[in-house]
Structure 1
Amino acid sequence: MKSATMPNELFLDIREHTRMRVPVPFSCALAEKARPRWFAKKRAGLGVVYDVSLKGARVTTEAPMNPGDQVTVLLRLPKQVAPLAVERATVRWAKDQTFGLEFMHLTSTAATRLKRFLSLHDHPAM
């Protein structure tokens, strides 16, 4: 995501990939990427996805997440039997119980499944 400054100091959000507002929010499972055991306790939780793109998602969860956290994510896309695995995602922003994820590593199979899901729904998020 890039920001451009306007003369009146407003910020324009220019995204490489359009976020799609999902017609019905769907669940996901989150787990903190493996850390050496002397670090803080591993975190995990369930979340609800409200919008998604090829490069990220906006998620609400009760699990504590902070910018910079690395997580694995299982997206439970509607009408699909198996969850879509995102092997590595980074929390880019967090506010209250909502946060933005940037997908850092998707397998080619997962990317194809996500592209197919996105092509079936064309409701850009504002």
Structure 2
Amino acid sequence: MALVKNQRDSIMRHPQPRMIKEEPLMEKRQQPRFTSQFRSIFSGERREGQGRTLDLSAGGCKIETDLSVVAGESFECRIYVPGLDWPLRIDEAQVRWVKATTFGVQFTKIKPDEETKLKRVIASLNEEFQA
């Protein structure tokens, strides 16, 4: 039993990339999303916070944080991906939903070079998922 618990704990700390699918009626995403554990910083007009990006797609992400946010709020987001010299910079991300300590954002404004980097990160996560 300890072996099973240790394996489960190891998976919780270092999750393997995987695609996340929801029920067809609930699915509103247009791109696949992948589990991740990237540090993120977000800032708006009145405040700044940090969190952990739990899943990522070309169109948005889910962030875990202690800071409370409100659906409809917009902010700039930086996602720190290991292997990149600079964080991914999302010029504008809009909060679409909030649940306890997590919230989902849609990327609404991103520069073309940052979008290219984001797509490379997604492709890399997809390759890890396929392996």
TM-score (norm 2): 0.75
**Match of residue 25 from structure 2:** 11
Matches within 5 A, 1:34-73: 34=45, 42-73=46-77
Deviation, structure 1 residue 14: 4.5
* One-letter amino acid of the counterpart of residue 48, structure 2: A
| Identity across the alignment (%) | 25
Q: 1:50 and 1:15 mapped to 2: Cα distance? A: 16
Listed as ranges, the gaps of 5+ residues in structure 1 are 1-5, 35-41
Q: More helix by proportion, 1 or 2?
A: 2
TM-score by length of 1: 0.78
Q: Which has the higher contact order (CA 8 A, sep 6+)?
A: 1
Residue of structure 1 equivalent to 2:42: 30
Q: Per-residue deviation at 1:12?
A: 4.0
Q: How far apart in 1 are the matches of 2:30 and 2:106?
A: 12
Runs of 4+ with deviation above 2 angstroms: none
Q: CA deviation at 1:106?
A: 0.7
C-alpha RMSD of matched pairs (Å): 1.9
Q: Given the alignment of the two structures, is residue 20 of structure 1 paired with residue 34 of structure 2, yes or no?
A: yes
Q: Which consecutive unaligned segments of at least 5 residues does structure 2 have?
A: 1-22
Shift of 1:97: 1.0
Aligned length: 106
**Post-superposition shift, 1:95?**
0.8
Question: Residues 121, 82 of structure 1: CA spacing in aligned structure 2 closer, same or farther, 3 A cutoff?
Answer: same
